């Protein structure tokens, strides 16, 4: 599993808002597709003073390209944070600190231990992603944060496709303190597209006069509407969420159209919308005005926030 520039920027954006401290757990070792100079340039772009510039070349990760010169995951985190990084995996093939099945039982000593958990693409490669997400939540301290990204469609090596509603509803049903969910739309070469765009999933959406009377009434009554994607191409879902003091891990969401009760979904989503956590934007991205991007859904719950290329 691994992080490219987009994932690295998400982490730097979050760290700038609330620095990563304490203990962090990575699900699998992460291949970080960054060379030292590129990493330092990104830190500068985000206004983050480097804490350590002694980068090590990654020699452990099997996803690393031979001769790439990519930095290892420990050097990556040490360059901007003081958190202690651990990794967990189902085997020791990449030298993980903890060996267990993330979809099985969590070792008791890891429950409620970590300040930050991150998954660099495992969620769409396991048989039971719901149990994986529950287990990751179990290992978080109250106030701890979780970063997840996964393919949403059209990627051949992904076992499953994770939708923005699936991840949003888990955090809402389990009453996290905050959750920000996004969709990345990768350009389609077949259609001649060149821009990678990031779309923010609005947790609470106001009805639009242009959305049609019936849909407008439904949105007004049920503002926790889906992040419906109706476009073609490759999509990824990204999420940064923060566990609250009263958050649970075991509630199973009911899909929007089948709920008999809109709580705690609306309550949670309103809290997500009120949060002062800034919506992602990139100091490196510019591929033209965001207003030029065609919509990727018709509900109005997905808003463009960044564009590259």
Q: pLDDT tens, 11-57?
A: 999 999 999 999 999 999 898 999 999 999 999 999 999 999 999 99
Q: In whole angstroms, what is the distance from residue 128 CA to residue 21 CA?
A: 30
- pLDDT, one tens digit per residue, over 103-159 is 999 999 999 999 999 998 899 989 999 999 999 999 999 999 999 999 887 677 778
> Torsion-angle region of residue 126: left (phi > 0), alpha (psi -120 to 50) or beta?
beta
**Count of other CB atoms within 10 angstroms of residue 123:** 27
**Whether residue 56 has a cis bond before it, omega within 30° of 0:** no
Region 86-103 average pLDDT: 93
The predicted model scores a pTM of: 0.90
Packing angle, helices 5-17 and 36-45, rounded to 10: 40
Structure tokens at 173: 């049903």
Tell me the domain boundaries of the chain: 2-308
Looking at residue 49, the DSSP 8-state letter turns out to be: -
pLDDT digits (tens, 9 = 90+) for 145-202: 999 999 887 677 778 899 999 999 999 999 999 999 999 999 877 778 888 999 999 9
**CA separation (Å) from 28 to 73, 79, 221?**
11, 20, 42
Q: Assign 229 to helix, strand or coil.
A: coil
Contacts 24+ apart (CB under 8 A), 215-223: 215/299, 219/299, 219/300, 222/256, 222/262, 222/266, 223/266, 223/269
How far is it, in rounded angstroms, from Cα 140 to Cα 84? Answer: 15
Residue 213 confidence (pLDDT) above 50: no
Of 120, 118, 26, 36, whose CA–CA distance to 70 is shortest?
36
Torsion of CA 217, 218, 221, 224, to 10 degrees: -140
> Which residues, 6 or more positions from 89, have their beta carbon under 8 angstroms from its beta carbon?
27, 28, 29, 96, 98, 99
Q: In the chain, pLDDT over 90 holds for what percent of residues?
A: 66
Rounded average pLDDT over 80-91:
95
Q: Phi/psi class of residue 115: alpha, beta or left (left: φ > 0; alpha: ψ in -120 to 50)?
A: alpha
Which runs of consecutive H residues, i.e. helices, occur in the chain? Answer: 5-17, 36-45, 73-78, 129-139, 164-173, 213-221, 265-274
Could you tell me which residue, 58 or 269, shows the higher pLDDT? 269
Question: Is beta strand 98-99 parallel, antiparallel or unpaired with respect to 84-89?
Answer: parallel
- Who wins on pLDDT, 76 or 287? 76
**Is residue 209 predicted with pLDDT exceeding 50?**
no
Is residue 295's pLDDT more than 80? yes
Task: Report CA Rg, the chain.
Answer: 19
Fold for the domain defined by 2-308: Rossmann fold (3.40.50)
pLDDT at 51: 96
User: Cα 149–155–156 angle (5° rounding)?
Assistant: 130
Contact yes or no for 79/50 (Cβ under 8 A): yes
Three-state DSSP state, 16: helix
Separation of alpha carbons 127 and 104, rounded Å: 11
């Amino acid at each position: 599993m691994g992080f490219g520039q987009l994932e690295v920027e998400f982490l730097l954006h979050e760290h700038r808002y609330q620095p990563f401290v304490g203990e962090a757990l990575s699900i699998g070792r992460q291949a970080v597709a960054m060379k030292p100079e590129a990493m330092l340039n990104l830190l500068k772009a985000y206004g983050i003073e480097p804490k350590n510039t002694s980068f090590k070349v990654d020699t452990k990760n099997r996803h690393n390209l031979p001769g790439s010169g990519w930095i290892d995951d420990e050097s990556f985190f040490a360059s901007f944070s003081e958190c202690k990084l651990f990794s967990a995996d189902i085997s020791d093939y990449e030298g993980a600190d903890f060996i267990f099945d993330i979809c099985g039982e969590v070792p008791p000593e890891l429950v409620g231990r970590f300040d930050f958990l991150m998954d660099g693409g495992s969620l769409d490669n396991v048989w039971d992603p719901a149990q994986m997400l529950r287990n990751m939540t179990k290992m978080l301290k109250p106030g701890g944060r979780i970063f997840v990204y996964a393919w949403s469609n059209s990627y051949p090596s992904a076992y499953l496709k994770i939708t923005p509603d699936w991840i949003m509803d888990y955090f809402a049903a389990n009453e996290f303190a905050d959750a920000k969910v996004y969709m990345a739309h990768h350009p389609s070469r077949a259609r001649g597209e060149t821009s990678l765009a990031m779309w923010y999933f609005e947790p609470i959406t106001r009805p639009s006069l242009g959305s049609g009377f019936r849909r407008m009434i439904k949105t007004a009554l049920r503002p926790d509407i889906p992040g419906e994607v109706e476009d073609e191409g490759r999509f990824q879902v990204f999420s940064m969420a923060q566990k609250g003091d009263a958050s649970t891990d075991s509630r199973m969401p009911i899909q929007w159209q089948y709920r008999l009760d809109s709580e705690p979904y609306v309550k949670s989503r309103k809290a997500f919308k009120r949060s002062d956590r800034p919506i992602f934007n990139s100091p490196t991205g510019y591929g033209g005005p965001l207003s030029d991007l065609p919509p990727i859904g018709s509900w109005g719950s997905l808003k463009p926030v960044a564009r590259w290329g």
